[in-house]
Amino acid sequence: MINFHQSYLSKNEVKYLSQVVEQPQKSGNGPFYEKCSTLVKQQFNFESTIFTNSATDALELAAILINIQPGDEVIIPSYTFVSTANAFLLRGAKIVFCDSGATHPNMCVQSLKSLITPKTKAVIPVHYGGKPAPMTEIMGLSEIHQFYVIEDAAQCIGSQYPNTQKMVGSQGHISCFSFHDTKNIHCGEGGMLVINHSPFKERALILRDKGTNRAQFLAGQIDKYTWVDLGSSYLPSEYQMAVLLSQLEELENVTEKRKQLWSIYHAKLGEKTAFLTPQEPWNAHNYYLVYPSLQKRNEAIDIFKDHNIQTAFHYQPLHLSPFGKQFSNNFNLPNAEKFGNGLLRLPLYPQLSEEQVNYIAEIAKTTL
């Protein structure tokens, strides 16, 4: 069986974990945390970052930072993971579902425009598969209507905005990344908050430190720390940071290998008119096919399974979910439903051989 996913392991995880065992500090904000912070700044030129236990944590931090209040409206794509919604529902927001584009699962700008109201507090573009959402247009709307933009960049580590040298995650007021086991690089569970809006920087550290001004105390700015704000336990341990450091060091090689495999898929499948496929590799987070119906996709899954290939569909549109229906402003989101019914992901990870990817692509052709 060719598994759909296999976690990537670099050469230094065990070495770095052994160092954590030997060092005095094993809780968060230790030497491996600092090494990860330094490396991320070098790799991506992000101005201010905070590592968290998950991208969900990062989204919840973002919701607190922008002071979401009951009744505030937050626009998210329906085709996304539940954390995109839950982080803001927990603060009392009203979730407003936006449709995807016709050719890609990302947020449709025209759909977004029709949903903005004076109550819109934030828009959460999700960069599906590493492909940036239309950020120029979204940031332009943000300036006009005065809402926050929080990039859900969970799948985007290593992606760049088109026609720029800027890394995805550097345009919105806040961005949230995932280092979950299923992502290009991982630490089992992990996340990162990127702060591009200067007024949020100091408060973000307080929220991370359970609502205390501990960061100022450790920096020698105050003689004791105390409870000053909301907060929670978002800080990852040194064990997680040790694994993440080993992965960050390999990110360039991992991305290059994934792009090579992505290109094999695309050379064989990208021109097949019966499929809708991604058109650029970006960070090669995934390669998918979009079948014309749920029935066709289910038939394809069975064909792949018969040939010992494990595939995976992805999100079911949140506006149609049992919990999401109670928040749904609009049940007419045809593109989100198209991707919910038709999208099927193929195996893509560095341990795959080119021969395996060629084989999978050949089987994919038979599912037309």
Query: Which tops the pLDDT comparison, 331 or 120?
Result: 120
- Report the alpha-carbon distance of residue 95 to residue 68 in Å, rounded: 12
Hey, is 54 helix, strand or coil?
Answer: coil
Q: How many residues does the chain have?
A: 368
Upper half-sphere CA count for residue 326 (Cβ side, 13 Å):
4
Q: What percent of the chain has pLDDT over 90?
A: 93
pLDDT, averaged across the chain? 96
Catalogue all structural domains in the chain, each as residue range(s) with its CATH number: 13-248 (3.40.640.10), 251-366 (3.90.1150.10)
pLDDT for residue 330 is more than 80: no
The pLDDT, as a whole number, for residue 296 is 97
Quickly list DSSP for 61-125: HHHHHTT--TT-EEEEESSS-THHHHHHHTTTPEEEEEPBPSSSSSBPHHHHHHH--TTEEEE--
Taking only the tens place, the pLDDT of each residue in 25-56 is 999 999 999 999 999 999 999 989 999 999 99
- Report the alpha-carbon distance of residue 176 to residue 62 in Å, rounded: 8
CB-CB contact of 336 with 315 (8 Å): no
pLDDT for residue 207 is more than 90: yes
Taking only the tens place, the pLDDT of each residue in 245-254 is 999 999 999 9
Taking only the tens place, the pLDDT of each residue in 138-189 is 999 999 999 999 999 999 999 999 989 899 999 999 999 999 999 999 999 9
What's the 3-state SS for 173-211?
CEEEEECCCCCCCCCCCCEEEEECCHHHHHHHHHHHECC
Q: Binning pLDDT at 50, 70 and 90, where does residue 121 land?
A: very high
- Report the alpha-carbon distance of residue 337 to residue 342 in Å, rounded: 8
